[in-house]
């Protein structure tokens, strides 16, 4: 009787493993269908038109170190990143990424006395080619010049961005990090 009970327990575990494997396989097939299925209709649906996505990154009480002079600056404001994706005849996309940080403000919180900083409100933009197959990912930086109101060097708030172009032609930007530089970064 004991060995019969062990055999039944092993059979139940084997059935449970088989069910788990089948469920995993079904999930994988569904994921492949989602990724591969929409590819052909997406190009037809857009009909060669561009797709635009806007993402706003809120910098609320965001302390950063100014490596140019050792200031610690508390920034706040919004940076809006706009990506426009245009289909190309070879299945790839031209992606134009623009950012602007309107009304970006901050104060030096260390050392004292405080010095106000503000963003120059200009637009930073660049374009690149997203080759097929999608999804494809591109990393770059957007920056805003921060101008001090006192005796301090100008600095640049740099936001590292990872942009993923999906099979339907949508490009989604995601912030990867922020830091300050003493000179404008190169794309």
Q: What is the pLDDT of residues 145-180, one digit of tens each?
A: 888 888 888 888 888 999 999 998 999 999 888 888
User: Rounded to whole angstroms, what are the CA distances from 171 to 90, 95, 142?
Assistant: 17, 8, 16
One domain for residues 64 and 100: yes
Q: Does 30 lie in the same domain as 79?
A: no
- What is the pLDDT at residue 5? 57
Report the pLDDT value the prediction gives residue 61, as an integer from 0 to 100: 79
Examine the domain organization and report whether 157 and 82 are in the same domain. yes
**Element of type H or E holding 99:** strand 93-100
Co-location of 66 and 142 in the same domain: yes
pLDDT in the model for residue 65: 81
What is the Cα–Cα distance from 55 to 47, expressed in whole angstroms?
Answer: 24
What pLDDT is recorded for position 102? 81
Confidence of residue 132 (pLDDT cuts 50, 70, 90): very high
Same domain, yes or no: 86 and 58: yes
* 157/103 same-domain check: yes
Co-location of 83 and 163 in the same domain? yes
Q: Give pLDDT tens digits for 64-116.
A: 887 788 888 888 998 899 999 999 999 999 999 999 988 889 888 888 888 89
Top pLDDT among 25 and 122 is at 122
The domain total for the chain is: 2
Q: Is 186 a domain residue?
A: no
Domain membership of residue 3 as a residue range: 1-36
> pLDDT exceeding 90 applies to what percent of the chain?
25
Is 96 contained in some domain?
yes
Comparing CA positions, the residue from 81, 78, 44 lying closest to residue 171 is 81
Q: Has residue 43 been placed in a domain?
A: no
62 CB-near residues (< 8 Å, 6+ apart) = 74, 75, 76, 178
Q: Give the phi and the psi of residue 101 in degrees, each rounded to 5.
A: -115, 80
Q: What is the pTM of this model?
A: 0.65
Q: Are residues 131 and 176 in the same domain?
A: yes
| 111 and 86 belong to one structural domain | yes
**Confidence at 33, pLDDT banded by 50, 70, 90:** very low
């Amino acid at each position: 009787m004991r060995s019969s009970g062990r055999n039944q327990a092993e059979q139940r575990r084997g059935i449970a493993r088989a069910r788990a494997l089948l469920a995993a396989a079904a999930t994988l097939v569904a994921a492949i269908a989602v990724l591969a299925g929409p590819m052909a209709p997406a190009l037809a649906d857009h009909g060669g038109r561009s797709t635009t996505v806007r993402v706003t990154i809120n910098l609320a009480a965001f302390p950063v170190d100014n490596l140019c002079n050792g200031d610690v600056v508390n920034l706040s404001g919004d940076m809006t990143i706009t990506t426009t994706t245009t289909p190309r005849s070879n299945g790839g996309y031209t992606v134009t990424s623009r950012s602007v940080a309107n009304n970006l403000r901050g104060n030096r919180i260390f050392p004292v006395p405080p010095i106000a900083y503000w963003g120059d409100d200009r637009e930073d933009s660049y374009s690149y080619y997203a080759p097929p197959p999608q999804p494809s990912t591109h990393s770059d930086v957007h920056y805003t010049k921060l101008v001090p109101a006192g005796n301090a060097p100008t600095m640049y708030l740099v936001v590292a961005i990872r942009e993923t172009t999906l099979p339907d032609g949508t490009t989604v930007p995601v912030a990867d990090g922020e830091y300050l530089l003493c000179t404008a970064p190169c794309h």
